[in-house]
Amino acid sequence: MFGHLPKFIRRRVKDIARFRAAQRGATAVEFALIAPAFLASLMAVFEVTLFLFAQQTLQTAAVSAGRLIMTGQAQNAGTTQTQFASNDVCPLVQALFTCSNLMINVQNYSSYSAATTAAPTLTYNAQGQVTNTFTYSPGSPGDVMVVQLIYQWPIIGGPFGYVLSNLGNGTTEMMGVTAFRIEPY
C-alpha cells in the first residue's frame, strides 16, 4: 500500500517546484489577494469624504439660517418653525439631505455663558423614529442665539463602519451649529 508513496511524493514535489517557477497568472493571484482590502479602503475613503462634505454643507446652512435670525429677517416675517424649515433652511440643504428628516433647534439665551451648543440627546420610539420636540425661539435684539441643525446620516457598516459613530439604527448624528448675538433691528 505504501509502495507508491515515494513516487507520489516525488511527483508532487516536482509539481510544487513547477508551480513556484511559473509566472503566468501571478498578477491575477496577487490582485485577488489585495483587492478586498483595497476596495474596502476605497469605500471607506468615499464614505468619510461624503460625510465630511455633507457635514460642511450642514454647517454652512446653520450659519446662513442663523444670519436670518441675527439680522431680524426671521422675526420680522413672523416665521414659524415649519416655515423657517421649509422656506429658509431646506433650500440650503436639499441637494444632500431629506428635508423631512432635518431637525432644527433654535434657542435664545441671556448670555454666552448660559448658552449650550452640545448635541441634544435623541430619544426614539418603538419604530426607531426621533421623538424629541425641538425649540424654535428666534429671540429679540440683544439675545444670544444658538441654532442647531441635526440630521441622522446613513452609514454603510462594512469592514470600516467603525470610522463613524453609529447610533444603532445605521445612522450617525451630524450637526451644524452656530452661536451669535442678535443685532438691533
Q: What digits encode the pLDDT tens for the residues 46-60?
A: 888 999 999 999 999
- The residues near 55 (Cβ < 8 Å, ≥ 6 apart) are 174, 176
The cell for 11 is 511527483
- Four-residue CA torsion sign, 95, 97, 100, 105: negative
Domain annotation covers residue 1: no
pLDDT digits (tens, 9 = 90+) for 146-181: 999 999 988 876 655 566 666 777 788 899 999 999
Please tell me the total count of domains within the chain.
1
Domain annotation covers residue 18: no
Residue 177 is predicted with a pLDDT of 96
> What is the mean predicted confidence (pLDDT) over 8-13?
81
pLDDT digits (tens, 9 = 90+) for 29-87: 888 999 998 988 888 888 889 999 999 999 999 999 999 999 998 887 778 888 999 99
Asked if 149 contacts 58 with a C-beta cutoff of 8 angstroms, the reply is yes
Domain annotation covers residue 123: yes
| Residue 160: C-alpha distances to residues 35, 37, 46, 54, 150 (Å) | 15, 10, 11, 19, 24
Domain annotation covers residue 172: yes
The cell for 160 is 470600516
How long is the chain?
185
The cell for 178 is 452656530
Residue 126 is predicted with a pLDDT of 81
Domain, as residue range, for 150: 24-181
pTM of the full structure: 0.77
Domain annotation covers residue 151: yes
Domain annotation covers residue 55: yes
Domain annotation covers residue 50: yes
Domain annotation covers residue 2: no
pLDDT band at 128 (very low <50, low <70, confident <90, very high): confident
The cell for 70 is 441675527
